[in-house]
Amino acid sequence: MKQKAIENYDKAITALEKCRTLNPDNPEVYNELGKNYLFLKDYKKSYESFAQAAQLDPKNKWYLAGMYDVCYQTQDDEQSIVLVKKLIEFDEGYKEDLTSLYMRTGQYDKALAMINELNDKVGKSEKRELYKADILKDSRFQDTEKTNLLDQIKKNPKEESNYIALIFLYSDSNQEEKALEIAKKLEIEIPTSDWAQVSLFKFHLSKNEGKEAVASMNQILKSNKIDNKIKHRVINEFLIFTKTNPQFDADLQKAIGYFDGDKEAKTAKEIGKFHQGKKDWDKAIEYYEIDNKSNPNDMETILLLLQAYVEKGQFDKVAAKADDTIEMFPQQPELYYYSGLAHNQQKEFKKAKDILETGIDFLVDDKALEINFNIQLGEAYSGLGDLKKKEAYFLKADKLLKQKK
């Protein structure tokens, strides 16, 4: 024992061999031999020593545990399973090990059964929930889990997580009616549950029940329990609904307000893009302005907003927005283009010329924008009465256009 403590495992084994000669039926001698051989990574002798100890004293779990340590280190998963099943008779805590072994060996049906048993007896754990999520990616195991969750709901009707998991499973397998049925049960059992509203929201939309859908949506958006991805999906679904039910536009705008100040949320921008795709420029501007207020440095939104202003012929707004933004992003060529375009439209040709000549220097490998710069420079010089430079810039734009083709 002294030699093992100072990591002289060879000397410890020599002493233990003398012990074995003196007392060949002492299981603890073999157990200590097994430990020392394991430290030396002599796995064959280690396993044989532990096995001899277990044969002499089958009721001592530590000898089986030694054999399991060897199998675990050598990744002999099949033998590990055999040993862990025996260890469970001594200590049910080894069921956690058995679950992991079933996962490692791809025995997912057995792993799922063990996970559900442990969840029921000792409560859920993060590790087991991750295992379960991996298993349930395979649709073959989803029916088993649905049955389990239904049983859990019967046993514990006030446990919200079981309803939520079942709603997701039904939704993922396109069983929307069953998902709705569970959501209604959840609402009855736990009236304050925010999660019940996720499925009820979809149900109300499908039935064209706008007021009820708005009520569910608002509860979802206010909830701290529901993930932002789900909230974004809810708003996108409501957006599609409002396209044919414009009387709910105000509710949509109010819903977007829940994301004010959220730098990660791109909801208003996406709604703006939706309206832009429909060439509804007034609505696009409305939502781009909302997003720009929350995310003033988002260049994509700024450029989308400037283009929307152009489409509506609001050149005073284009000029004001582009000129202000140039101060924050002085090397962004698109801003100079929009500013030059706007000042040309307002017949402020000298200002347009100066801005465009500054901005074109920041251009890098963007032929389409270069063409537009030259056209606007031509317009500016035309307004200034310099016909020679006007023609030069128009010819340059025409040449670039031909190259692009």
Domain 313-405 has CATH 1.25.40.10: yes
Give the pLDDT score at 265: 58
Lowest pLDDT segment from 137-141, 340-344, 390-394 = 137-141
**Residue type for 203, please?**
F
| CA 31 – CA 358 distance, rounded (Å) | 83
Backbone angles phi and psi of 76, in degrees to 5:
-90, 80
Calculate mean pLDDT across residues 269-281.
85
Residue 41 has pLDDT above 70, yes or no: yes
Of 18, 45, 40, which is closest to residue 29 (Cα–Cα)? 18
90-145 pLDDT, tens per residue? 999 999 999 999 999 999 999 999 999 999 889 889 999 899 888 988 888 888 89
C-alpha of 45 from chain center? 48
Six-digit token string for 26: 């002492």
* pLDDT of 262: 57
With DSSP H G I counted as helix, E B as strand and the rest as coil, what are the percentages for the chain, rounded to 5?
80, 0, 20
Q: Whole-model pTM above 0.95? A: no
Residues of CATH 1.25.40.10 domain(s) within the chain? 313-405
Q: Under a CB-based contact definition with an 8 Å cutoff, are residues 233 and 218 in contact?
A: no
**Both tokens assigned to 369:** 């924008």
Angle between helices 196-206 and 228-244 (to 10 degrees): 20
- Residue 263, pLDDT above cutoff 80: no
Which residue in 350, 323, 362, 327 sits closest to 339, CA to CA? 323
The pLDDT mean for the chain works out to: 90
Report pLDDT digits (tens) over 46-96.
999 999 999 999 999 999 999 999 999 999 999 999 999 999 999 999 999
Residue 309 tokens read as: 């202003």
Q: Band of the pLDDT at 261, cuts 50, 70, 90?
A: low
| Interatomic CA distance for residues 320 and 251, integer angstroms | 30
What digits encode the pLDDT tens for the residues 306-321? 999 999 999 999 999 9
